[in-house]
Structure 1
Amino acid sequence: MAEQKNMEVCGSVMDGVAEKGSVLESPTKKVPTEYTVYPIRWVVLIIFVFYSASNSMQWIQYSIIQDAVVKYYDVTSNTVYWTSLIFMITYVPLIFPGSFLLDKVGLRITTIIGAFGTCAGAWLKVFSVPQDMFWLGFLGQTVVAISQVFILNVPPRLAAVWFGADQVSSACSVGVFGNQLGVAIGFFLPPILVRAQGTVEEIGADFQLMFYLVAGFTSVLFVLILLFFKKAPPSPPSAAADLGSSLDSNFLQSIKKLLTNRNYVLLLISYGLNVGVFYAISTLLNQIILNNYPGANADAGRIGLVIVVAGMVGSVVSGMVLDKTHRFKETTLAVYAASVIGMVIFTFTLDCGIIGVVYLSSIILGFFMTGYLPVGFEFASEVTFPEPEGTTSGILNACVQIFGMTLTLSYEQMLAKLGDRWSNVILCAILAVGTVITALIKSDLRRQAASEYKG
């Protein structure tokens, strides 16, 4: 039955291809083709990982040392949190032109634009060290935030363009791994580099060192991208990539098809709830930890690091499971349900008085909650094939930013009025709703059907 369903799905896809005059002579005729993958794909992927990290490491750069920023620049805590929220705000209106650009000019040009913006924003922050120049640092943060439009929707597209059918999920996981790596660095380094208990002069020198390090790193990556980042391999690496490249993409038509795809819309909501909760916890993590463990500034950064590193492991494991089993819905549902359990454990151990226990609960939470990111990306690519991966993931990320901004602002208010325990219980309930929505998504694996059909 599963094979029959896949053939029916693929048949509808092939009909569209035949209408456009593809290489297939008939929608019912298989044409066995031998595909080649190129070693340089790993160079392209590794460069992208560090490029993505250089951007995402700046997302939480101010928020995780909120108390030091407030002390040095004499701004409010809310102003500091907006340095994180600006990433969510700028993404939503810009994702459609960003996705359109990726679809029309390809990976190389899009990546060069994003790398330049990330580098330029980092250098603006270098000149924002004087205490009356926080506005310039915020401007630099905004430029970096805008540049993420050219990053977040790339992993599924890069994986599909460069990697074979048996590696595409793992490659997407590694691509998402770059974003998580950057967030981990963003949690870890600022509390180490910037001494919250230091004098104003010491904090200023610490800020200068941190900003120079980030600007230098982004500059090196920009040069590497100019020299080595390629648009596409000489020939498609898989049947799905071959089929995707043979279709003429209509951007507005793709958006219409995506937003009328029931499975995709359900995934938008469930994915948005999961990642939105992660954004809320990440943005306010410094406040959460300090409320329960006063003076534990460095621990707040390390706990954030633990959450993200565990999620990086979860991402790689999930990608390997998907490549081996192709059980996209089952894997997505299992990881989502485990995220609920992880959030419950985190909620009821946060105020236990033993910060080591919080580290352990953060490992469980991070492994599943942030490990869910590439799983959702890949499931979206499956249920929407042959629509462009950049458009699919772009809308997915736009939805995430809306949920993330809403949940972060709501979480901040809940913490003030309800305290940690009940605020986190509400987040647990939100994740439980997301699990139910995920269960309603049908396992419509169109990309797998296309690969089996042409293979």
Structure 2
Amino acid sequence: MADRSVSGDSVSLAANSTSTSNLVDQTYQVYKRRWFILFVICLLNISNAMVWITFSPIADVTAEKFKVDAFKVNVLSLVFLICSVPFGFCASWVLDTFGLRASILLSAWLNGVGALLRNVSVFDGIDDSARYPILLLGQTLAACAQPFVMFAPTKLAALWFAGNQRATANMLASMANPLGILTANVIVPAMVTSCDGHDIPSALWVMTGISLTGTMMATFLWVMTGISLTGTMMATFGVCSSTPPTPPTASAEEDSEKFIDGLKKLLKNKNYWVLNITFGAGLAIFTSFTTFLDQILCPKGYSNSFAGLCGALMIAGGVLGAVVSGIYVDRSKKFAEVIKFSYAGAVMAGLAFTQVARLRDQSVLAATCITLFGVFGFAMYPISMEMSVEVTYPVAEATSSGLLIVSGQIQGIIIILVLQFLAQPLSPEDLAIGTGCSGGCSGNSTSQFTPQEWTGMYCTDTIK
């Protein structure tokens, strides 16, 4: 029988040995630097999400700027889902084999270089036919970085945080990615207001600056000189270890399963696969909303700015829901109950939004529904991550939580491709209203972006 007490930044565990009457005291300590590493992971998640979603709120302007159709604009987001599947397994292996630091460094530099390369696509002197391939290459590099930082929160929480802080740490790190999406949804439509896309380079440089800052933070211990240090120096003297000098809990002291052995155990765990499939479906729906929100609302006469606002409200509501659920679960340990309640609420709010999105001049109702979808949907995100670790112990944290994200990305790819295939041309009446996006960009005679009906084949006949 063991007695555990928590005081400040230390955890004491007293255990009675069966072989001796002596009382053995083991003190577990947590370190303040854990908050710095958490901050680094949050910053990288934010910058990577901003790179990912840069072009979704301005799909019509992007198509005009790079002379491509709507599908190629969607590929700029879709590449993140595609790359996350093979690199998701790679990230799990790196985290379990080489540790947290290696994963942070890989994500930081892939993301920073990818964001920087995107700017080359808008340089003067670049041939028009080469602009989109260069842009896509930059997006692809950043996409490869995503799993390495998205899979890190559960590993960080398990190795650096006490048991009563893990759900909160997971919540903060996991919500950084949606926060980046929120930021992009607000900043990009505000910066890119012209139809010809001449504002896009400025927006790209903003994203690059944030991404490169994330790279610096990930590879150096909070340099306060304020003057530039080279990336090589920061990479060398960055986050110095994957684990703290002493473990924060008894479970952190134990070795986790090897990657292949962990996969074999997961395949036999029915409870985990129920969580994997249901969580993946929710993540896929969120990804689809994020990718197509501008294109869903545009044909009904809503502007790019309103679509960006809806995306921002969804994330803001989600962060609120995640904070409340994370704190509640840390105290109550009611993982299953919170997940079920959140899932039910997200389904109802999502269905309501799909119906409201078919109507014109319902901005308040549409914004309310998408906000509620965020509140309930994101409430289960960090809780599901932590629960995946709990139900699969001693499988490595990066493996169990990482496969949840891989499941969401695979289902997201399927949903996005199916929706792209099912989208129908607009009627002439709806097309005239749809040109309201970005002040009529989609109605330009030279534009290759044609708004489509995303809310049902029958809508053009029933909604006039």
Q: Under TM normalisation by the shorter chain, which class is it?
A: 0.7 to 0.9
Question: Whole-Å Cα distance in 2 between the matches of residues 336 and 233 of structure 1?
Answer: 35
Q: Is there any run of 5+ residues in structure 2 with no aligned partner, and where?
A: 2-14, 222-238, 426-451, 460-464
156, 179, 202: which one aligns with 2:154: 156
Alignment of 1:351-362 (within 5 A): 351=359, 353-362=361-370
3-state SS in 1 of match to 2:54: coil
3-state SS in 2 of match to 1:43: helix
Instruction: Please state if 1:345 is matched with 2:352.
Output: yes
Report if the CA contact (8 A) 2:256-2:396 is conserved: no
TM-score normalised to the size of structure 2?
0.80
Structure 1 161/424 Cα, relative in aligned 2: closer, same or farther at 3 Å? farther
| CA apart distance, 1:349 | 2.5
3-state SS in 2 of match to 1:34: strand
Question: Whole-Å Cα distance in 2 between the matches of residues 263 and 34 of structure 1?
Answer: 33
Counterpart of 2:56? 63
Percent identical pairs in the alignment equals 29
Structure 1 24/63 Cα, relative in aligned 2: closer, same or farther at 3 Å? farther
Counterpart of 2:287? 279
Moved more, 338-347 or 66-75: 338-347
Instruction: Please state if 1:333 is matched with 2:344.
Output: no
Instruction: Please state if 1:36 is matched with 2:44.
Output: no
Deviations 1:162-207 (A, max 9, x none): 111111001000010111111111222111111243xx3xx23x22
Counterpart of 1:241? 252
The structure with the largest strand share of the pair is 2
Alignment of 1:296-375 (within 5 A): 296-350=303-357, 351=359, 353-375=361-383
Question: Whole-Å Cα distance in 1 between the matches of residues 458 and 317 of structure 2?
Answer: 20
Deviations 1:142-167 (A, max 9, x none): 00001112111111111111111111
Structure 1 407/25 Cα, relative in aligned 2: closer, same or farther at 3 Å? farther
Counterpart of 1:290? 298
Structure 1 vs Structure 2 CA RMSD: 2.5
The structure with the largest helix share of the pair is 1
Report if the CA contact (8 A) 1:47-1:224 is conserved: yes
Larger Rg: 2
Amino acid of the structure 2 residue aligned with 1:157: K
Alignment of 1:195-214 (within 5 A): 195-197=193-195, 200=196, 203-204=197-198, 206-214=199-207
Instruction: Please state if 1:91 is matched with 2:98.
Output: no
Question: Whole-Å Cα distance in 1 between the matches of residues 273 and 306 of structure 2?
Answer: 38
Question: Whole-Å Cα distance in 1 between the matches of residues 457 and 338 of structure 2?
Answer: 28
Question: Whole-Å Cα distance in 2 between the matches of residues 61 and 218 of structure 1?
Answer: 12
Amino acid of the structure 2 residue aligned with 1:175: A
3-state SS in 2 of match to 1:59: helix
3-state SS in 1 of match to 2:220: helix
3-state SS in 1 of match to 2:307: helix
152, 167, 174: which one aligns with 1:169: 167
Question: Whole-Å Cα distance in 1 between the matches of residues 16 and 152 of structure 2?
Answer: 28
3-state SS in 2 of match to 1:167: helix
Question: Whole-Å Cα distance in 2 between the matches of residues 25 and 283 of structure 1?
Answer: 57
Deviations 1:408-441 (A, max 9, x none): 112233342895555899xxxxxxxxxxxxxxxx
Q: Is there any run of 5+ residues in structure 1 with no aligned partner, and where?
A: 4-22, 426-455
Question: Whole-Å Cα distance in 2 between the matches of residues 175 and 51 of structure 1?
Answer: 10
Amino acid of the structure 1 residue aligned with 2:95: L
Counterpart of 1:397? 405
| CA apart distance, 1:355 | 0.8
| CA apart distance, 1:24 | 11
Report if the CA contact (8 A) 2:158-2:166 is conserved: yes
